[in-house]
Structure 1
Amino acid sequence: MRIIACTEGSFGKIEPFSLEMITAARTAGAAGDEVVAFFAGQELEPAVANLGAADRLVAASAGSSQLIAAESYARLLADTIAAEEPGLVLVPYAANGLDVAGDLAARTGWPLVSYVNEISRDGDRLAVVAQVYGGKILAECSVPLPAILMVNPGAFAEAERRAVDPSKLQHFDATAVVAEGKVRLVGVDVPNYDSVDLTTAERIVCVGRGIGDEASIDIARGLADILGAEIAGSRPVVDSGWLPKVRQVGKSGQKVKPKLYLALGVSGAPEHLEGMSKSDLIIAVNTDPKAPIFNVAHFGATCDLFDLVANLSERLQPGR
């Protein structure tokens, strides 16, 4: 069987979840199966330099566009599927993937399972574990092939970064396809992370919607000061204007790997877990024992976060 692992990259870099898709494909495959990485982006070089863990690379580049819109990506991928005739296509749960996976399922008529955490081969089918209801329930699915799976970033380890053998590369120009698309890139707005770089922080205290309001963040700031940590927030906190965008952790914020990640009132939506699940030590505080954040936390407490922070701050004062 041939398996297509979809990858993405922009601004001269490959998204880390691209390497995870290759590992997921290896996990789903059997002996003798071929893993083909598919890439569509402005520049070919990042893909060629990093995606050699796949058996082959099919790459489409369009130098005229910084980002390939989901509409164009899906069309390019559909053409590749028609040519390669795979038995399985893995799409990352990412901004493009959300649109691309559904588009492909409609085009092919194949079954689609989203928010996938685990994959194993079961004869001519796949045994898949996927999240539902924001990760509060895990569903075990038996999926007939061919199929499309949308895989959660962080569910699989990154494959080794290495260059693609030139003999294993198939490249084509996607400029015409992008130009024909109805969706056009107007601009890219990237926050200025010069003032706050959470990616280099060794300790982070992150607040979620459970903090209640903007004023209540001060108690978390006090604990962060004692710990020598940076304060951060989940997307709902940033969308509410309680913290600036540069302090957002998650898929649409910064991806962090601190030595300590203390999550206060963070439920743990897949988008947030993507940005922090690889932290060395994760401690979660949430009154909901079924909050998805506990699926990745090393330690957890289901108490009132204000009581815990107040007592912990007192205990950590100099001389205590």
Structure 2
Amino acid sequence: MKMIACTEGRSDRVEAFSLEMINAARSIAAAGDEVVAFFAGQAAKAAASSFGAADRLIAADAAGSDLIPAEAYARLLRDTIAAEQPDLVLVPYSANGLDVAADIAARTGWPLLSYVNEIKRDGESLNVVAQMYGGKVLAECVVKLPAVLMVNPGAFEEAMPGPVDAAKVQQFDAMPAIESSRVKMVAIDVPDYADVDLTTAERIVCVGRGIGDEASIDIARDLATILGAEIAGSRPVVDNGWLPKLRQVGKSGQKVKPKLYLALGVSGAPEHLEGMSHADLIIAVNTDPKAPIFNVAHYGATCDLFDLVASLSDRLQASPGR
């Protein structure tokens, strides 16, 4: 079986989930199978130096573009699929991947399964576990090959980084496809994280929609101060204006890996889990026992977060050796 693991880059770096896509393919590869990493972006050299877990690398080098629009990426990937004739294409659940996976499935006629958490091989088909209804339901599906799977970042560990054998790297110019695309990149607007860099925080207290309102965040902020932690929020909290964008964790915010991640009233949508699921210790508090956050939490409590936070704050303040 031949598998194409799609990877992505922005500016001069590769996205961290790229190594996860390669590992996802490698996890079901048997003897004689081939894992081909497909990369499109400005960081083709970085991909060649990192994707050694793949058997080969096909790199569409976009030296003149910081970001490749989904339309151009899909076109480049379609050409690669036509040349390689793979049995399986793994696409990351990303801003680009949402469009790319659907494009490839529609044009090839292959089945597409999205929000994939687990993949197991079963002869000529795959047993796949995927999320539904924002992660509240896990569906077990049998997928016949060839197929396209859109994999949730964080569902697989990263493959060990290392260089690809130079003889196994095929590189070509992506700029003609980008320049002929109907979608043009105008600008990239990246927030300045100088004042609040959650990626370096060892402890984070994150509040979700369950906190209720902006004023109620103060109780979580007080707990964060006691713990020596940074306060953060899920996207609904930031969209409501209760916390600034710089404190958002998730796909469209910051991706963090603290030693402690305390989630208060966070339901755990796939976009949020992508940004924090690799934390060393995750403690979740939510009144909904079926909240997806509990699928990644090491410890959980289904109780009123205000009662728990008040009690925990009192205990911590009374304990001199915290």
CA distance in 2, matches of 1:312, 1:62: 51
Shift of 1:63: 1.9
- Structure 2 counterpart of 1:172, one-letter code: F
1:122-271 matched pairs, under 5 angstroms: 122-271=122-271
Range with greater deviation from structure 2 (192-201 or 310-319): 310-319
Shift of 1:52: 1.3
Equivalence for 1:43: 43
Equivalence for 2:74: 74
- Contact 1:9–1:46 (8 Å) recurs in 2: no
Query: SS state of the match for residue 317, structure 2?
Result: coil
CA distance in 2, matches of 1:5, 1:62: 19
Shift of 1:167: 0.2
Listed one character per residue, the Cα deviations across residues 5-33 of structure 1 (whole Å, up to 9, x for unaligned) are: 00011122111111011111012222210
Query: SS state of the match for residue 309, structure 1?
Result: helix
| TM-score normalised to structure 2 length | 0.98
CA distance in 1, matches of 2:287, 2:205: 17
Shift of 1:245: 0.9
CA distance in 2, matches of 1:62, 1:233: 34
CA distance in 2, matches of 1:271, 1:282: 16
CA distance in 2, matches of 1:88, 1:18: 16
Query: SS state of the match for residue 79, structure 1?
Result: helix
- Contact 1:28–1:126 (8 Å) recurs in 2: no
Shift of 1:170: 0.4
Listed one character per residue, the Cα deviations across residues 252-289 of structure 1 (whole Å, up to 9, x for unaligned) are: 11111111100000000011111111111111000000
Listed one character per residue, the Cα deviations across residues 239-261 of structure 1 (whole Å, up to 9, x for unaligned) are: 11111111111111111111110
Shift of 1:301: 0.6
Listed one character per residue, the Cα deviations across residues 168-201 of structure 1 (whole Å, up to 9, x for unaligned) are: 0001101111011111001001011000111111
- Contact 1:211–1:217 (8 Å) recurs in 2: yes
CA distance in 1, matches of 2:138, 2:118: 10
- Contact 2:203–2:260 (8 Å) recurs in 1: yes
Query: SS state of the match for residue 317, structure 1?
Result: helix
Distance 1:43 1:281, change over 3 A: closer
Range with greater deviation from structure 2 (230-239 or 39-48): 39-48
Query: SS state of the match for residue 39, structure 1?
Result: strand
- Contact 1:93–1:153 (8 Å) recurs in 2: yes
Equivalence for 2:110: 110
Runs of 4+ in 1 over 2 A off after TM superposition: none
- Structure 1 counterpart of 2:216, one-letter code: S
- Contact 1:30–1:121 (8 Å) recurs in 2: no
CA distance in 2, matches of 1:64, 1:184: 13
Query: SS state of the match for residue 278, structure 2?
Result: coil
Shift of 1:292: 0.2
- Contact 2:11–2:65 (8 Å) recurs in 1: no
Distance 1:50 1:102, change over 3 A: same
Shift of 1:319: 5.4
